[in-house]
Amino acid sequence: MSKALFNKVSDKDIEYLEKIVGSRNVSTEEVDLITNAIDASPITFHKPEVVVWPDNAEQIVKILEYANRVRIPVYPRGGGTSNVGTVPIYGGIVVSLRKMNKICEIDEENMLVRVEPGIIYDALNKELEKFRLFFPPDPSSGAACTIGGMVASNASGCRAVKYGTTREFVLGVDAVFPMAGLVKLGSSMSAKYSHNLDLSKLMVGSQGTLAVFTEIALKLKVLPESVKTCVSIFNSTVSAIKSIYKIIRQGLDVAALEFMDKNAISGISEFENINPRSGEAILLIETEGSEKASSESIDKCIEILKNNEAVEIWLANNKDEREKLWSARKGAHRLLQQLGKYTIESDVAIPLSSLEAAVEMAYTIGKKYQLKTSCLGHFGDGNLHIVWGTNDDLYGKELLHKAIDELNKWAISIGGAVSGEHGIGTHKKQYMRIQYGGVYELLLKIKRNIDPRCILSPGIIFDVKEIIFDQK
């Protein structure tokens, strides 16, 4: 299909790209092609034919105009931290946005920031900290993921239980479309507006299938005066999950409410204050606000934990202890690769009332396919992450995919979603019709009208054959 629908990158095409961005910003070197052939997923590998590094919006406009005219696929790329297969499966051009990494403006008075898409999340917050401001979503990949990538996948993380996802903070987007060129969407100055359809929000979660971002306006929050962090250990996952529900149901102002099971605890066993032999599950809870408010909230959380059979509760005494806790939590995904020679991770969104059933379902599926299973995630807003692992060289990969398929379909059947924050990519596009039903046809119409030749990230979220009817 790729040969019929898209043209290969020729020497002439490379020469044209070099005229746009300069020869130093165009590469067909194997090391660059391989680097951009993968994301954080261990199961997807597709090489582009060329990688380009633009440094301004005008260059991106010219690249997309040309690619659309000669029908060559274009894949925008940020930090490469996605784990749902956002890779160039039809080859073509990878447009790396890593050089477009500037902070355009920090508006301290209005608590807004304008940035280019390639800036790293942690780097942005380091600068914002000077103004006692921050961008809250806090993904585990914050040291490497870009703001453009976060908007493209509607990323979130540990603080979504209080602040929501990236979507809640996007005010406006400057984006380049294949047919329309550079367009400003939303607002870059006002945190509230109701003057038209908010097309900027349409860009959030689009994973490079509709446009290439060149600038993003975000609203910010004030850094809290005080933060309190505690860890509690349970002898059963049921007791831990019941504690989560009671904390949420009582309306306590928690900024983070994280769950890790026994295998996740083992994965971070080098952290001296967590003994993997002492429990089946861990909760990491954080409250913030004024000194009085954060202390009162954490005390109420601890009371609930004690009443729900927590066998040990440990409160961080200072910033260093708190950061060590979070370093362990955010490193759990990497350490869970110890589950087997072949591993796969997925995230699903589950109604809070079904969290206990979801964890049990993950273990049941793992047992069915003889996989080692670990559950963790942002349980305060029903975001479950599952890692399965196996050492089976013959059937291992097939079993992992069967497990993911079974869990995704179960999540949809109970009113959940196949992804809470990772996005769809190539791995989960097969569930789009099941998830959305008749609405999926509307999504296809939007894609067809914005990108009728399907040059932007073909194969991601949508199957190309669903977009293009005329293959002549």
The residue-averaged pLDDT of 288-298 equals 96
Per-residue pLDDT tens digits for 8-19: 999 999 999 999
pLDDT for 126 beyond 70: yes
* Spatial distance between the Cα atoms of 254 and 230, rounded to a whole number of angstroms: 11
340-430 CATH fold? Alpha-Beta Plaits (3.30.70)
What band does 21 get if pLDDT is binned at 50, 70 and 90?
very high
Strands 170-177 and 181-186 turn out to be antiparallel
226-333 and 2-98+445-467 share a CATH fold: no
* Spatial distance between the Cα atoms of 141 and 345, rounded to a whole number of angstroms: 14
> In Å, how far from its chain's centre is CA 140?
9
Least confident of 82-86, 133-137, 194-198, 325-329: 194-198
Tell me the pLDDT of the chain averaged across its residues: 92
Q: What is the CATH number of domain 226-333?
A: 3.30.70.2190
Per-residue pLDDT tens digits for 366-383: 999 999 999 999 999 999
Nearest of 95, 97, 96, 144 to residue 121 by alpha carbon: 144
- Residue 291 pLDDT: 95
Per-residue pLDDT tens digits for 383-441: 999 999 999 999 998 999 999 999 999 999 999 999 988 899 999 999 999 999 989 99
What band does 335 get if pLDDT is binned at 50, 70 and 90?
low
pLDDT for 277 beyond 70: no
- Residue 410 pLDDT: 97
Nearest of 279, 262, 266, 356 to residue 314 by alpha carbon: 279
The residue ranking higher by pLDDT, 229 or 2, is: 229
Q: Name the helix (H) or strand (E) containing 171.
A: strand 170-177
* Spatial distance between the Cα atoms of 135 and 146, rounded to a whole number of angstroms: 12
What band does 323 get if pLDDT is binned at 50, 70 and 90?
confident
Start-end of H helices in 308-353: 319-330, 332-335
pLDDT for 332 beyond 80: no
Least confident of 25-29, 188-192, 354-358, 421-425: 188-192
- Residue 272 pLDDT: 44
Per-residue pLDDT tens digits for 87-121: 999 999 999 999 999 999 999 999 999 999 999 99
For domain 103-222, the CATH class is: alpha beta
- Per the structure block, which two tokens stand in for 188? 């870059």
What band does 40 get if pLDDT is binned at 50, 70 and 90?
confident
The residue-averaged pLDDT of 345-356 equals 93
* Spatial distance between the Cα atoms of 207 and 82, rounded to a whole number of angstroms: 10
Q: Is CATH 3.30.43.10 correct for 2-98+445-467? A: yes
Percent of the chain with pLDDT over 90: 79
Per-residue burial over 37-47, b = 16 or more CB atoms within 10 Å of its CB, e = otherwise: bbbbbeebebb
- Per the structure block, which two tokens stand in for 101? 């990494």
The residue-averaged pLDDT of 152-167 equals 94
pTM of the predicted protein model: 0.93
The span from the first CA to the last CA of the chain, in angstroms, equals: 12
- Residue 333 pLDDT: 67
- Residue 295 pLDDT: 96
- The CB density around residue 441, as the number of other CB atoms within 10 Å, is 11
The residue ranking higher by pLDDT, 1 or 131, is: 131
Please, are residues 120 and 171 in contact by the beta-carbon 8 Å criterion? no
Unique residue bearing structure tokens 């796969």: 344
- Residue 336 pLDDT: 67
pLDDT for 471 beyond 50: no
Q: Per DSSP, what are the bridge partners of residue 343? A: 389
Going from N- to C-terminal start, the domains of the chain cover: 2-98+445-467, 103-222, 226-333, 340-430
pLDDT for 271 beyond 50: no
What band does 195 get if pLDDT is binned at 50, 70 and 90?
low
